[in-house]
Amino acid sequence: MKVNRLFGGCLPAVYLSRGLQTKLRGNPYDKIEEKVIKKATLFLYLLKKEGVVINMCGIVGYIGTQDVKDILLNGLEKLEYRGYDSAGIAVVNENGVHIFKDKGRIAHLRTVVDETVLSTVGIGHTRWATHGAPNQRNSHPHQSSTGRFTIVHNGVIENELELRQEFLPNYKFISDTDTEVIAALIEHFVLEKEDVELAIRHVMSLLHGSYALGVIDAGNPDVLYAAKNKSPMLIGLGEGFNMIGSDAMAMLQCTNQFVEIEDEEFIKLTREGVTIYNLLGVPVKRSPFTAELDASDIEKGTYPHYMLKEIDEQPYVIRRIVEQYFEDGQIKMDQKIVDAVQSADRLYIIAAGTSMHAGFVGKQLFEQLAGIPTEVHISSEFVYNTPVISKNPLFIFISQSGETADSRAVLVKIKQLGYPSLTITNVPGSTLSREADHTLLLHAGPEIAVASTKAYTAQVAVQAVLAAKVAGKSDLDLSRELAIVANVMESITDHKEQYEEIAKEYLTQRNCFYIGRHVDYYVALEAALKLKEISYIQTEGFAAGELKHGTIALIEKGTPVIAIISQEAVNLNTRSNVKEVKARGANTVIISLRSLSSETDQIVIDDVHPLLTPLVTVVPTQLISYYAALQRDFDIDKPRNLAKSVTVE
């Protein structure tokens, strides 16, 4: 149970189609045509109809003894990574409920909050606009018409129109949000049922869609209510206080004791305790668990960016993987997983982006170590262009977040076909983890930067452990080899100036190439993705020998070409390819292993086991990307147009 179930079950953000996103984000509300908003709403509805789980926004709530404003604002800051365009808090005291909210960042919200208002109960929200434009009016919290109920909501209510028509035909709504319908319904049913808890549970039973809710009742400010269905939420426990949050990170400032919430559960929080109920009002018992991470895991500390911190964490992640998966030098792993892999006649790795690149390295490992034929598929392609599947396949889903909709669509499909599945993820409570037959965890700790770094190396390392376990006895002493990898990673991250210089000297053009052969080609793909996604330099990862079949036409004076050389069998071939591009004016950089290096190579890395070289050759490329983006002054942790987890197909 540990670290990763805390940050999320999901690290989600909802992303509309790029076009709609641009329209919604790029325009002040007044300029957005109503039909665009309607179209966005319909689009979300269709996504839901197709079974795509949509999560967005962030929630935090607190009831205790300390002034709540900073607790909420600090908690919301920890949820910023999810992406948002507006934020707000509501606090309640003897003078009633006070709401502070606006479009823009948390830093701006801090300037809006009235410091003189004191309160020990409150809810907060970061909003990523879906129903209605990002503006003050649509920002959460929202209230019922009398102001008695104030709520924050993460999710999408699909039947809000029907609910408006059936129960609230004459209601005067202030916002365009589906959330306000929930607040209005609660008040409506409180009048009818004369019992707040009953009313909220009744409203829950009427809602179709996803929600994580925090509710304040001005009539009873010593209670905080919460409810959950499909959107992520955790309870945080403390001495004299209790909390809710979209993930543990929002609450770690106050506690490391958490309780999970299942779908369709209703929660009553007071200062003294928390009770979870099912929809029928029957109390549910659930044990708390202790977070294995502390606030420093999710703080940048002295780092200017999460990405740099996460690059630096890689040696520790590799050591943690060894700790988790080895005992007395032997691999310890659920035998059911080992059996599932051993009995497969072919492995199908399904993943997207960086995780897919880790899957390519995994293919090499499964084939070389365990002798099992392995295919790697882009998840978004597999569903609609399904290849012929072998007799006894095993599907391996690789996903940092465990929430990627493209991969989930494949999982749904292969489950319908009756095939077994394994998810390799950083997030145990995640959708892919819950829905697959088996899960292997990455133990990488929270990865906050959108650009994935430590999750990639953890994905490669965990696949190596699995492949070695399935292979049984072999000459490879994996725990020792991984320990060497961790040390070599450290020797790379200890000399960052070198990569800063390379980024400055070589990445001066609007394009760049990474080339490599064999497993270095897979690392070239990942290196190219990393560089393009944060520095916006158009970069291609290429099989070095393939350049001359067309792409070499793009090489001109000054084009940066970075070659990766870690495999003896292709050392000379790749070097020939470097000469070819150099002769055509390219500015070349070579990253090589020491035993294969030549005097002129710019980056030389100490040797590791030949099957594990991607774990170390990727690190300089991560640092080069980081410094290229830094030199361009881009938002490194939150690059434009990207989400940490892509929860729509």
- The one catalytic residue in 23, 101, 469, 644 is 644
Rule CB under 6 A: say whether 126 interacts with ligand AGP: no
Q: How far are the Cα atoms of 57, 148, 450, 633 from residue 639, in angstroms, in the given order?
A: 18, 40, 7, 11
Quote the least distance from Cβ 426 to ligand AGP, whole Å.
8
Nearer to ligand AGP, 353 or 541 (CB): 353
In the list 314, 431, 452, 566, the residue contacting ligand AGP (rule: CB under 6 A) is 452
- The minimum distance between CB 644 and ligand AGP, in angstroms, equals 7
CB 276, CB 284: distance < 8 Å = yes
> Is residue 57 annotated as part of the catalytic site, yes or no?
yes
Q: Are 229 and 9 in contact (CB under 8 A)?
A: no
Q: What is the CB neighbour count within 10 angstroms for residue 165?
A: 10
Assess 411 for contact with ligand AGP (CB under 6 A): no
Site membership for ligand AGP, residue 404 (CB under 6 A): yes
Smallest separation, CB 459 to ligand AGP (Å)? 8
Whole-angstrom distance, CA of residue 412 vs CA of residue 414: 6
Token digits of residue 223: 């209670």
Residues forming beta bridges with residue 605, ordered by sequence position: 593
Site string for ligand AGP, 88-107 (x = CB under 6 A): --------------------
CB of residue 318 to ligand AGP, shortest distance in Å? 18
Indicate the SS3 state at residue 301.
coil
Instruction: Give the closest residue to 36 by CA, choosing from 152, 134, 137.
Output: 134
Report residue 97 as tokens: 């409920």
Can residue 533 be called a binding residue for ligand AGP (CB under 6 A)? yes
**Quick one: which of 614, 646, 647, 648 contacts ligand AGP (CB under 6 A)?**
646
DSSP string, 73-133: HHHHHHTGGG--SEEEEEEEETTEEEEEEEES-HHHHHHHS-TT---SEEEEEEE--SSS-
| Dihedral sign of CA atoms 165, 168, 172, 178 in order | negative
**Of 23, 48, 57, 268, catalytic:** 57
Our CB check for ligand AGP shows the closer of 152 and 450 to be 450
Nearer residue to ligand AGP within complex by CB, 126 or 407: 407
Q: How far is the CB of 315 from ligand AGP (least distance, A)?
A: 20
Q: Which residues ranging from 362 to 401 are in contact with ligand AGP (CB under 6 A)?
A: 399-401
253 is an interface residue for ligand AGP by CB under 6 A: no
The residue (of 13 and 322) whose beta carbon lies closer to ligand AGP is 13
Q: Tokens 């559960």 map to which residue?
A: 265
Distance between CA 266 and CA 196 in Å, rounded?
12
Binders of ligand AGP among 422-451, rule CB under 6 A? 450-451
- The string of DSSP codes covering 363-412 is HHHHHHHH---EEEEEHHHHTTSPPP--SSEEEEEEESSS--HHHHHHHH
Minimum Å distance from CB 647 to ligand AGP? 9
In the complex with ligand AGP, the residue whose CB is nearer, 4 or 588, is: 4
Residues 6+ apart with CB under 8 A from 136: 86, 101, 102, 103
Residue choice 354, 364, 613, 617 for contact with ligand AGP (CB under 6 A): 354
Between 314 and 353, how does the x/- string for binding to ligand AGP read (CB under 6 A)? --------------------------------------xx
Closer to ligand AGP at the Cβ: 353 or 516? 353
Q: Is 415 a catalytic residue?
A: no
Question: Measured from the CB of residue 397, what is the shortest distance to ligand AGP in angstroms?
Answer: 8
Nearest-CA neighbor of 55 among 19, 86, 10? 10
Which of 74/401 has CB closer to ligand AGP? Answer: 401
The residue among 48, 24, 51 whose CA lies nearest residue 35 is 24
* Half-sphere exposure in the Cβ direction for 94 (13 Å, CA): 0
Indicate the residue among 257 and 463 with the shorter CB distance to ligand AGP.
463
Quote the least distance from Cβ 428 to ligand AGP, whole Å.
14
DSSP conformation letters of 466-480: HHHHHH-S-S--HHH
Q: Which is nearer to ligand AGP, 355 or 587 (CB)?
A: 355
Q: Determine the size of the site formed for ligand AGP (CB under 6 A).
A: 15
Please list the residues that pair with 232 across neighbouring strands: none
Shortest reach from residue 402's CB to ligand AGP, in Å:
7
622 binds ligand AGP (CB under 6 A): no
- Taking CB atoms, the residue at the shortest distance from ligand AGP is 353
What is the contact surface with ligand AGP in residues (CB under 6 A)?
352-355, 399-401, 404, 407, 450-452, 533, 645-646
Active site residues: 57, 644
